[in-house]
């Protein structure tokens, strides 16, 4: 049995025994830590530094990139990579960000970005990169 399969099975077992009201962020951290441990990649630094992917989708209008990068800058979140495109008036942007040194926790950052998304009339998704990769693999 491969290591990733074991990590996913362990995560499923943990999730079956945890209370349902457990915050999504806690569940994501547990799953990522188990995956890192099984893959032999876990060190204290690896568990502290987790990249995230911010996706913004909607009708194009001026100031969208500024609007979201402003929130990231205000909260000390580093933009590692950014890609945006506009197709027939539709805007799509993906940012890989490092929230390690953020002034706020991940859930608060997610809520701030989603609130800004409502103001900008766009859809916003924020998820840890390692979990996004695993979900896309399945």
Across the range 39-57, mean pLDDT stands at: 72
Confidence label for 23 from pLDDT (cuts 50, 70 and 90): confident
3-state secondary structure of 121: coil
Confidence label for 41 from pLDDT (cuts 50, 70 and 90): low
pLDDT of 46 higher than 80? no
How high is the mean pLDDT of the chain?
83
CATH code: domain 49-136 is 3.30.70.260
Confidence label for 78 from pLDDT (cuts 50, 70 and 90): very high
Confidence label for 92 from pLDDT (cuts 50, 70 and 90): very high
Where does the chain show beta strands of DSSP type E? Answer: 52-59, 78-87, 90-98, 122-128
Across the range 33-58, mean pLDDT stands at: 71
* Residue among 118, 59, 128, 135 nearest 97 (CA): 128
**Tens digit of each residue's pLDDT (9 = 90 or more) over 93-106:** 999 999 999 999 99
Contact 38, 7 (CB under 8 A): yes
Q: Which residues contact 13 (CB under 8 A, 6 or more apart)?
A: none
- DSSP sequence for 27-69: HHHHHHHHHHHHTT---HHHHH---EEEEEEEE--TTHHHHHH
Confidence label for 88 from pLDDT (cuts 50, 70 and 90): very high
**β-pair partners for 56:** 93, 124
- Give CA separation, 32 vs 2, 66, 88, 121, in Å: 16, 30, 37, 31
Return the domain boundaries, the chain.
Answer: 3-47, 49-136
């Amino acid at each position: 049995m491969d290591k990733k399969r074991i990590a996913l099975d362990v995560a499923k077992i943990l999730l079956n025994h945890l209370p349902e009201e457990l915050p999504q962020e806690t569940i994501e951290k547990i799953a990522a830590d188990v995956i890192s441990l099984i893959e032999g990649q876990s060190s204290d630094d690896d568990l502290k530094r987790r990249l995230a992917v911010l996706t913004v989708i909607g009708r194009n209008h001026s100031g969208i990139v500024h609007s979201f990068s402003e929130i990231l800058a205000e909260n000390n979140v580093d933009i590692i990579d950014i890609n945006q495109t506009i197709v027939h008036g539709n805007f799509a942007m993906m940012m890989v960000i490092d929230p390690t040194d953020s002034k706020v926790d991940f859930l608060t950052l997610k809520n701030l970005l989603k609130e800004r998304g409502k103001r900008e009339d766009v859809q916003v998704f924020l998820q840890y990169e390692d979990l996004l990769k695993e979900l896309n693999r399945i």
